[in-house]
Amino acid sequence: MKRILLASAVALMASMVFVGCSDDDKEGTAQVPATGVSLDVTEQTLDIGQTLQLTATPAPVNTTDRVVWRSDKESVATVSETGLVKAVAAGTATVEAVCGTVSASCVVRVIDPYQEYDVISFETSEGLIDIKGKLLVLGDVEVVGGDAAATHKNVFWGKSYVSFYGQQDQSGSTYIDLPLFGTPDDNVWFGSYYSDGGSYKWDTWAGFVLSQNYNTTATSHDFANQFSVYAESGACSTETFAVAYYSYSSMPGYLHTTPTIEFISPRKVAYLYMAPSTLLDTYYKYDSSAVKDRTFSYRITGSLDNASTGTVDVTLVKNGTVEAGWVKVDLSSLGSVDKLTFTPQGIDPLKDFDPAYFCLDHIELVKE
């Protein structure tokens, strides 16, 4: 009996020694101080409401020091624990990544675009008008026909204007194809197409519509998301944005199947923001027919008096990976334009079925 008790006591002591050694090892883990840290961006200009994700790279790679973020002027720009910078007010702030005794910084200049540019961000306060000259209002719209059938909230499109401006095409469908909405000064207009499908009762649209729907969490590819942007809000934290669709149809009368912006008096466009639609994002993630290594962009072509002033390409899908959120696009190289058109690049309209949808917001025009 004494031998059994003695054996148990020895085992217990051995167990305690083992646990004690483990704790000592943990407490005695060697610390590896950071000798340097770098940022992927060291200087950036943001519009109020715009965000910027910074990435810090400490050295050596096995350092035990943790990156801590801070902004010297949080009234101008804030930064999260993960390095997400948000522009709050006009001014200049220095965002710093501190890792132990070393640091790296990014100078963030924040501008108020409404002070520096004439901005079209499709907000209710801007007083946008429809083709009849009346204040446009977003509301519930019903899409009829096939997989696209659904009721969508907070959308503006051309269906209700067919009774006023509708024409008959060769298939018997009633359609409109016109500059559907514009700025209250009657100078900037956005083209839109709508067809009722005739006897097929199948709604189709192209060009531009307006929406207030956002979705970054969809887990399937379907047309329930055709009016949603793959972002948390409009560009620069706004509420309303435009959705655009490039139609592949070659039917006659489709003057605005290519999304088109018209300027009655030519203007210089400094910037605009583009983002993938949720429908585009879910196609590459969940549709088995998607070409997984596709690179897909939109070409923005400026023109003046029917002559091209230049082009700018905006990549929304690279090797099957969809851009996350809004991209600020510099169009200053196009000069004065009376028209902007948006055409897809990297897909063949005759054989590819990639959904040619994108979203547009916050168009910044050089003040005259």
Q: What's the mean pLDDT in 70-88?
A: 96
Of 75-79, 165-169, 272-276, the poorest mean pLDDT is in 165-169
What pLDDT does 250 receive?
Answer: 53
30: which residues sit within 8 A by CB, 6+ positions away? none
C-alpha atoms less than 13 angstroms from C-alpha of 12 in its C-beta half-sphere:
6
CA dihedral 57, 62, 66, 69 (to 10 degrees): 0
Neighbour tally for 88: CB within 10 Å:
18
Whether 57 shows a pLDDT value over 80: the answer reads yes
What are the beta bridge partners of residue 314?
A: 298
What pLDDT does 20 receive?
Answer: 36
What pLDDT does 257 receive?
Answer: 80
Which comes out higher in pLDDT, residue 29 or 327? 327
Residue-range domains of the chain with CATH? 36-111 (2.60.40.1080), 116-366 (2.60.120.1350)
Q: Give me the amino acid identity at 253.
A: G
What are the beta bridge partners of residue 342?
A: 300
Q: What's the mean pLDDT in 91-114?
A: 96
What pLDDT does 249 receive?
Answer: 60
| Cβ atoms of residues 270 and 331 within 8 Å | yes
Report pLDDT digits (tens) over 255-314. Answer: 458 999 999 999 999 999 999 999 999 999 999 989 989 999 999 999 999 999 999 999
Which comes out higher in pLDDT, residue 8 or 170? 170
Q: What's the mean pLDDT in 232-258?
A: 80
Report pLDDT digits (tens) over 337-355. Answer: 999 999 999 987 667 888 9
SS3 (DSSP) at 120: strand
What pLDDT does 317 receive?
Answer: 95
What pLDDT does 32 receive?
Answer: 96
Which comes out higher in pLDDT, residue 209 or 27? 209
What pLDDT does 316 receive?
Answer: 95
Report pLDDT digits (tens) over 121-159. Answer: 999 999 999 999 999 999 999 999 877 888 999 999 999
What pLDDT does 35 receive?
Answer: 97
- Model pTM above 0.75: yes
Whether 13 shows a pLDDT value over 50: the answer reads no
Whether 6 shows a pLDDT value over 80: the answer reads no
Residue spans of alpha helices (H) in 118-212: 162-165
Grade residue 26 by pLDDT with cuts at 50, 70 and 90: very low
For 143, counting Cβ atoms within 10 Å of its Cβ (0-12 exposed, 13-18 middle, 19+ buried), the class is: buried
Whether 334 shows a pLDDT value over 70: the answer reads yes
d(CA 216, CA 212): 14
What pLDDT does 366 receive?
Answer: 97
Max Cα-Cα span within the chain: 107
Which comes out higher in pLDDT, residue 189 or 13? 189
| Cβ atoms of residues 151 and 141 within 8 Å | yes
Q: What's the mean pLDDT in 86-98?
A: 97
What pLDDT does 100 receive?
Answer: 95
Report pLDDT digits (tens) over 206-234. Answer: 999 999 999 999 999 988 899 999 999 99
> What's the whole-number average pLDDT of the chain?
89
